[in-house]
Amino acid sequence: MSTNKQDTTLNVPSKFNHSNAGGVNRYRGVYLGKVIDIVDDRYEGYIYVDIVGHNRQGRISNKESRQKAVRVRRALPYGGHYQGSDHTRSYGMSCHPPAPGTEVVILFTGTDQEGIMIGVLPDTGRNSSIGDNTVAFAEGEQGVAHTYDTSAVVSQDKNTRPRHELTGAVAKQGLGLDSLRGLSSSGARRESPSNVFGFNTPSGHSLVLDDGTAKNSDVSLAPDKERKEGLSNLVRLRSAGGAQMLFNDTAGIVYVINQAGNSWVQLDSDGKIDIYSSGDISMHTENDMNLHVGGDFSLDADAINMKARGTDGIKIETATGEFNLHSAKDIKLTTDLNQHLKAVGNVRVSTDGLIDLNGPPASAATKTTNNNITTNRTVKQSITGRVPEAEPYGGHTQEQSDVPSSASSDSLLTGKDIDMTKVTNNSNSAPNNPKTNSTKVGGHAQTSKNTNPRNGGPF
């Protein structure tokens, strides 16, 4: 039978059937597979797949047996490698391998029995959280929350799903019942066809681009037949811990919040900017800072300190109104030189006590106090307690951590993590570089000038 003709039965077309050549079973064409192992000892992202319907012999609980399954490369939608004289410049997309148990589509060329994964098939009814975590009634809670999809072996009770860990993080931020900033409806099962494009990692980091809800109509299907159109039109970048940057076109806001919820910034559609911090807000400019207010400027603090370091001093003027100064206690005016008081009109002095001239001595005004800022490189003293500088800024309170290394590009596949814990933020000293398995030329590991990006060997 010619392999160029399609089988008219319900079987797979003959040109996609695997064939035997010289007693060797060969795969050719497109197959469905199930991932059974994702640990690749070459760090190249290979996976091991059981071809559906081929009844592979072996125990999947045994690693050695699992890695005797079909070895499969993953095709990515974008990327490449520029080969330099002493380095390789890789670019493109990198992502987690599909988890064991995931169904994948595998392609075999026929001449090469190494499979190529060209796609992933999500489990039926289990694609709600692709892009972001679904809002639903969580188990054990009276209300909405971030949730997981139910298990493939458990039936879902109406709109109730297992609670996601992100619920606790969002509640800690104070956004547990905030439909604009905290909760998220972005998911692949919200409407059909879906208006949500996004990514999320197994731990819960997510990037979502949501074109908003579509109402139920002849061209769009929604679970709620009374669905409003245009809700949740947004871009959201959120970490698994809850920190997020949100651009919400439906509400007209830009919103940023940290994991603990103790600092946030919002820009709203009216042009208002709100900034909150439970700690300090510190600002530093190397040059001028200009503040122009069209309306009222109000400042309320427990204590207010101002200091002018330059020869121009401090100038305060009211263009048309009064100048009012009130103190609940003494008012002290001290000058190291002359004091002038000039009035175009009358001068009135009113007191319930005495007016003393030239005695007894007047009390001097209290000056501002300079703080020594030992963590800074340039600004060493200021009446403020914290002056951010250009990086590396020594005032960062977060501790350094180890920098994990990548497996080397040679056959040894080794690496040494770099200890940065003893390096301070404002130090220019670098840690000792770990020993590598290749010589260094111009700061780069020396490699072959013409290497095969497929196997690392020479062309």
Do 179 and 212 form a contact (C-beta atoms < 8 A)?
no
Specify the pLDDT at position 121.
92
Rounded CA gap, 182 and 243, in Å? 10
Do 49 and 97 form a contact (C-beta atoms < 8 A)?
no
Show contacts of 230-236: CB within 8 Å, 24+ apart. 231/185, 232/184, 232/185, 232/186, 234/186, 234/208, 234/210, 235/208, 235/209, 235/210, 236/132, 236/184, 236/186, 236/206, 236/207, 236/208, 236/210
Specify the pLDDT at position 440.
38
3-class secondary-structure state, position 14: helix
Rounded CA gap, 327 and 172, in Å? 41
Specify the pLDDT at position 57.
61
Closest CA to 129 of 202, 236, 180, 178: 202
Rg from Cα positions in the chain: 34
What residues contact 64, with CB distance under 8 A and at least 6 apart?
none
DSSP codes joined into one string, 320-373: SS------SS------SS------SS------SS---SS-SPPPPPPPP-PEE-
Distance between terminal CA atoms of the chain? 39
Do 117 and 105 form a contact (C-beta atoms < 8 A)?
yes
3-class secondary-structure state, position 197: strand
Label residue 448 by pLDDT band (50, 70, 90).
Answer: very low
Query: Which CATH number is correct for 14-121, 2.40.50.260, 2.30.42.10, 3.40.50.150, 3.40.50.2000?
Result: 2.40.50.260
Residue 69: Cβ-neighbour burial (10 angstroms; 0-12, 13-18, 19+): buried
Rounded CA gap, 252 and 268, in Å? 6
Query: Which of 73-82, 131-140, 151-160: highest mean pLDDT?
Result: 73-82
Specify the pLDDT at position 8.
43
> Tokens in use for 225?
């037949």
What digits encode the pLDDT tens for the residues 57-90? 656 777 888 888 899 999 999 999 899 898 888 8
Rounded CA gap, 389 and 161, in Å? 48
Residue 106 has pLDDT above 80, yes or no: yes
What size, in residues, is the chain?
459
Rounded CA gap, 20 and 33, in Å? 20
Label residue 158 by pLDDT band (50, 70, 90).
Answer: low
Burial of 236-262, coded b for 16+ CB within 10 Å and e otherwise, reads bbbbbbbbbebebeebebbbebbeebe
Specify the pLDDT at position 316.
93
* Least confident residue range of 42-46, 110-114, 409-413, 446-450: 446-450
Specify the pLDDT at position 306.
94
Specify the pLDDT at position 20.
55
Closest CA to 45 of 92, 7, 112, 108: 92
In whole numbers, what is the pLDDT of the chain averaged over residues?
82
> Tokens in use for 333?
């005016």
DSSP codes joined into one string, 62-88: SHHHHTTSEEEEEP-SSEEEEE-SS-E
Domain boundaries, the chain: 14-121, 134-277, 373-398, 403-459
Rounded CA gap, 224 and 136, in Å? 13
